[in-house]
Copies of this chain bind each other. A is one copy, B any other.
Amino acid sequence: MTCPGYQKLCKRSREVYLLRSIAGVLSWDLETYLPSKAVPYRADQLGYLEAKAHALFTEPWVGDWLEESEQFNFGQDSEQAANVREWRRSYNRATKIPVSLVEEFEKTRTVAREAWVGARAESRFSQFEPYLEKIVELTRRKADFWGFVESPYDALIEEYEPGITAREVKQILEELRGALVDLLREIPAESVPENFLDGHYPIPGQQALSREVAAAFGYDLAAGRIDTTVHPFATNLGPFDQRITTRYDEQRFEVCLYGIMHETGHALYEQGLSTSRVGLPSGEAVSLGIHESQSRLWENHVGRTAKFWHLWYPKACPHLPDLGRYSVTELVKGVQRVGPSFIRVEADEVTYDLHVLLRFDLELALIEGRLKVKDLPEAWNSRFQELFGLVVPDDRRGVLQDSHWSLGAIGYFPTYTLGNLNAAQLMFAAEKQVPGLSDQLAQGHYQPLLDWLRDNIHQHGRRYLPAELMRRATGQTTQTRYRIAYLRDKYLG
């Protein structure tokens, strides 16, 4: 016995996926190779594809197919039931927003992004202020349309991390803050200087080494590639096409090497999704907090370790002879250096989540109407000084550093911290469940870890909500204590 509505949903879902995968190719090209004068038409092409995909998924009969599928007797825990649940969630969210608001939001984003680039270059928040005001206003209207119980922020974060609330995020970040501030106080002061590992690291050597590492971690380069961009990212362009990008700094090899490890983590997740479920929710990544756990795990738990460098030091030196000036111990000290800094994307593992906390507090206050956009820089600077003990020198290194708000992505930042927590918790579980994992990693046998992640995370796609997925993989929903224990052990142990 089959359910025709479900079959129609599968077909429609695959078509929407195909359109979005086409947009993925165009976006990748936009970020990597597009000639500068071609940008405006690329925006038209992307807008067209997104509008088509949105229209296809919000047609009234999609709602009929959903109702038919919901009344059909799929097993409660079946893949089909999970697909129907996820389609329902996406459908309800998509159809709640009037098309006019979708359009206005898209247009506002495009100009706000441009304004942000200009404002950041000149380090003048006032240039960006009116655009951000509009973004916040439209975002609050979207939250109202989506609906929420406690905070409009709940409706926003749902877009990136289904099932979590602002209250839960707040609790997590507060817990972390206390622990991190304690830890920072305890870390010995005699640490290495900021430019400790600076040298001359030629790009071809960096490329060769980072490709070798990515391949060793399990990245299938016949189903992916590595290109150069200003802002590194990982992206899925369709089945067997998971690309990553990086940037090179000839003085600092860490920018590329750890960037590649991070993006490889994202790509490994996408390459581990089921190829027979392409275009269905059960074949898609479940949330940004889970996605970020994969990148953080490979970058920090695997790569930013003494184990990694004991193994890779002799392999890395021929590619980057300047590494020979350091002992393995010194290299490890360098890549594990901890210290307060202005820029989130360059922050060390210990202070990173404080950057997220700052942004979460501020965007929550903006969305709940407790903070005005015009007061944002002052709020940023005073809160930053409180958390890091540093005076923000200018807006560029302060409130203007991230693109997220200009892109209308309010509610996104907490997923970075969730990723950090999930990474530590998954690693803890893997260490218990995979026999001899630590020794395997020390010998460069990364497959057992990857297999465990494939089995426990990747293959499930969106079958379970993130909390349930974590519970199944680790026995608990996302906790702070694994990350705290990991950091204390790594930086004090």
A241 to B35, Cβ gap below 8 A?
Answer: yes
Let me know if A45 is at the binding interface, CB within 8 A. yes
Flag if B35 contacts A25 (CB, 8 Å).
no
Of B36, B44, B49, the residue contacting A222 (CB under 8 A) is B36
Contact A35 B238 (CB under 8 A): no
Size band of the interface chain A makes with B: 20 to 34
Which residues of B lie under 8 Å from residue A220 when comparing CB positions? 37
B38 in contact with A241 (CB, 8 Å): yes
Within 8 Å CB of A34, what residues of B?
Answer: 241
A272 to chain B, nearest CB (A): 14
Could you give, for residues 231-256 of chain A, a 1 whenever the CB lies within 8 Å of some chain B CB and a 0 otherwise?
00000011111010000000000000
> Is there contact, CB below 8 Å, between A223 and B18?
no
Contact between A45 and B238, CB atoms less than 8 A apart: yes
Q: Is the CB of B45 within 8 A of A240?
A: no
B225 lies within 8 A of A37 (CB): no
Chain B proximity of A29: nearest CB distance (Å): 6
Is A21 in the interface zone, CB < 8 Å from B? yes
- Contact, CB under 8 Å: B225 / A35: yes
A264 to nearest B CB, angstroms? 15
In angstroms, Cα B45 to Cα A278, docked, is 13
Give how many copies assemble into the complex.
2
Quick check: is A26 within 8 A (CB to CB) of the other chain? Answer: yes
Q: Which of B33, B37, B224 contacts A35 (CB 8 A)?
A: B224
Assess A238 versus B25: contact at CB under 8 Å? Given A35-B225, A36-B222, A221-B35: no
Which residues, 7 to 34 on A, are CB-close (under 8 Å) to B?
A: 15, 18, 21-22, 25-26, 29, 33-34
Q: Which residues of B contact A21 (CB under 8 A)?
A: 41, 45
Q: Does A61 contact B (CB under 8 A)?
A: no
Residues on B with beta carbons closer than 8 Å to the beta carbon of A45: 18, 21-22, 25, 238
Residue interface mask A453-483, B partner, CB < 8 A = 1: 0000000000000000000000000000000
User: What is A's interface to B at a CB cutoff of 8 Å?
Assistant: 15, 18, 21-22, 25-26, 29, 33-38, 40-42, 44-45, 48-49, 220-225, 227, 237-241, 243, 278
28 A-B residue pairs with Cβ-Cβ distance under 8 Å, sorted by A, are A18-B44, A18-B45, A18-B48, A21-B41, A21-B45, A22-B26, A25-B29, A29-B29, A33-B227, A34-B241, A35-B221, A35-B222, A35-B224, A35-B240, A35-B241, A36-B222, A37-B220, A37-B223, A37-B240, A37-B241, A38-B237, A38-B239, A38-B240, A38-B241, A40-B240, A41-B238, A41-B239, A45-B238
